[in-house]
Structure 1
């Protein structure tokens, strides 16, 4: 399933991935969006796809190692694009990488430990996105709102709080 919340309509939209992209497999493990380019990157195992609207870009899937990951990385746990820095953070186990979307290359000095650079969120990120300039990292039943500049936790919430549960 894909769950979407939009400022243009109330509530949460839930659809089958196959209703948007019938040629793609199900069970994606990570995804991120570059809004200005109208591109969504979807990750499953050691492969990834790029889609725009209802179209899958030609030449996909590609192996995640073409992005610059070392061979021991087999899957991506979570990913988030930072619209301010034009960098994507990829989370794998207890580490993360920074990918420069402008130069299309992994940044030097990575991987780094999640718990060192993002204190208070633990060792793993299950999912992530950016909204109104802040990151939202999910792990288990918790989500953490993170200031992107200081990388500090602003607040901790239940992970389902976006779904307006009553």
Structure 2
């Protein structure tokens, strides 16, 4: 084995043993606006805002609730509500298939989380849309969750945040 063969084999073995990009957890985040490279914990520990240009990264509904509400104060309501498809709607794929795909992806049955929480010890009803579930689309289940939150707000004479 010659000197060149050693490096050839070394590169091949090294490439084979390196974990794929999907396997490696990323510790770095690139801002889509200014392209600054920042440590993940710095960005998401600072309200998901770029430290250089103040670009706001997208938050899912759970992150937004954790950001807004007092620690441990959120109680989700209407978890059991599930979308149905009375029109048997089909586009590129059926509505039922699309719902299943997004439910699997987000671990949520709809694009809305509703419940009761406190912000600065003040009780309120809260409804949060999750863009990662079908772009935060509004269907019958989402509408029902909003109506129920409004009804709880009126009954308890509390604030409502949507």
Fold match (TM-score > 0.5):
no
**Whose strand proportion is higher, 1 or 2?**
1
Larger Rg: 2
With the length of structure 1 as denominator, give the TM-score of the two structures. Answer: 0.23
